[in-house]
Amino acid sequence: MERVDFCGSFSSPPPSALNTLEAPLKIGVVKEIKTHEYRIALTPHGVEELVESGHEVCVESGAGLGSDLSDSAYAEAGAQVLEGPDAVWEACEMIMKVKEPQEVEWSRMRPGQILFTYFHLAADQKLTDAVVATGSHCFAYETLNVGRRLPLLEPMSEVAGRLAIQAGAKYLERPTGGTGVLLGGVTGVRPAHVVVLGGGIVGTNAARMAAGLRADVSILDINIERMQYLDEVLPANCTLLYNTRRTLREELAKADLLVGAVLVPGAAAPKLVRREDLGLMKKGSVIVDVAVDQGGCVETCRATTHEEPTFVVDDVIHYCVANMPGAVPRTSTFALTNATLPYAKQLAALGAAGALTESEPLRGAANAISGKLTNEAVATAFGVSWTPPLEALADAN
């Protein structure tokens, strides 16, 4: 089940690491081109901090408009605003993005260039093979870990968990094909039953939102320690259940809305809900699989977009948008920059080699270094070999 929070205090990189400037870098921020992706990897205040640290920052013209951030705001923060993506990719030694590089961007990546973004490689072998082949140094937000936490995944997990309930409520409405059930019910009428698979950041935020709307919520997990904590902090209309096949099937039969919130860091999500399980669910019930970035925890899941967010299998509505936080880009962009900026400063200060040598969190973020796959969970997903990051670095030298 999802394991991204556990209530530890946030740990930024040590100040000494931020001040060890190997050489000033040109850092580029490009416009996201995934369908209906409106976020940008860096806010103007993030640009300002990187410039004050001695780096140059180039921002593609129009990249921030989806988050209501103008070119002039970036220019005032000290960025060079360049026309077109090619100008940014060619000029910069480090690229910051939000989503994984799209196919048209693969040819723009080059050996030795640093790319810092969400990759979710375990869900896409074609993408994995392509980015490894570029020889770029690929550092993934979602596998950067501090102890038992994934601090760069957490803010988007919060957003996605809350959006999952908004989306589920919408698609439960009759005009969108749902059962016509109001999540919170009304006086004298039962509320909807919401089942949340996973008690991490996504699951906790989904449960809180659903509970706040007065739904009847069940959270299924297998981590007793985590369940004990959630039992203390969540409201009384949330029930914690230890997940077994029997329990899951019983809950599916009652569910109006199922939220998939399962995560194994860096790896493909386990398929906990099987195709045959859909036969237990009500006609017009809704599945929101937030784990779609890692392949989904529902067997019938396939990635969708904000343009065409849903599909129906066995009379059950599936909402499997792979970039859910892109629907609220203003909130998401600021939350993402708040989390990534300390590590972006460290990565830029140390360079790829220094980051791998000196920073354990950034070493964990390394998914591909100098043409070699360097994340064990991704390799396991595809049954291929991998090379530890420091070995890949040594081989390259």
Residues shown for the chain: 397
User: What is 325-343 written as a DSSP string?
Assistant: GGGSHHHHHHHHHHHHHHH
Contact criterion met (CB below 8 Å) for 207 and 234: yes
Distance CA 319, CA 345 (A): 36
Contact criterion met (CB below 8 Å) for 165 and 213: yes
Distance CA 302, CA 277 (A): 16
Q: Which residues of 235-257 are buried (b: 16+ CB within 10 A; e: fewer)?
A: eebbebeebeeeebeebbebbbb
The torsion of the CA quartet 144, 150, 153, 155, rounded to 10 degrees, works out to -130
Radius of gyration of the chain (CA): 21
Catalytic residue IDs: 120, 293
> Edge-to-edge, what's the strand order for the sheet holding 257-260?
238-242, 216-221, 193-197, 257-260, 286-289, 316-319, 310-313
Which position has the token pair 């929070």? Answer: 5
Contacts by 228-233, CB closer than 8 A, 24 or more apart: 229/7, 230/199, 230/204
> Which residues touch 176 (CB under 8 Å, ≥6 apart)?
170, 310, 317
Distance CA 178, CA 167 (A): 12
